[in-house]
Structure 1
Amino acid sequence: MPDIELDSLSLKELKALQAQVARAIATYEDRRKKDALSELEEKARELGFTLAELTGVAVHRKRAPAEAKYANPANPADTWSGRGRKPRWFEEAMKAGKSEDDLRV
């Protein structure tokens, strides 16, 4: 580690150095964990496994966003996939006498 002559630095340079040290300290453990995880994943790959297989941790896969099935007649950019809670515009259109087929994309 290079020796830094602190007495020769200005106040601005000292504060910048202090901020860098504070960031390095705050992220130290995270960086070490990331490095350790990378080493373990590499070793597992060398042995023909994934780390999830060896630890028994289930891999959570994210579901792709659902395609829009319905569009708001007043604003076609406002869509709904048919999953989850019905949007207000959908319910209002149904009360106004529209059918689901009328609102399909």
Structure 2
Amino acid sequence: MATYLELKAQADALYQQAEELRDKERSQAIADIREKMANFEITLKELGLDGKRASAKPAASAVKTRKPVAIKYRGPAGQTWTGRGQKPVWLAELIKQGRKPEEFLI
């Protein structure tokens, strides 16, 4: 019966062989693809590629931009708030003092 270390050494050797074969076959596959592309005058653009590696992230230009939201509230010191999200500190403090948010509507 083989020991753990012997099996691990065999596995490492097989992994190394597999990597070498993969590299060799990959090189041959690339050469075959290049040859076919040249024979048929196929461009990367025709394949939907631009010569850069594909990424999982969408292009920055694909992100939609939002319109700015109109300001609804203005504080005594000129602070502003759109009315969306958490109340700003300045408004929360004024409410604690007994003031109403409606007083600061624009």
Smaller-chain TM-score bracket: 0.3 to 0.5
Structure with more helix by fraction: 1
TM-score normalised according to structure 1 size = 0.40
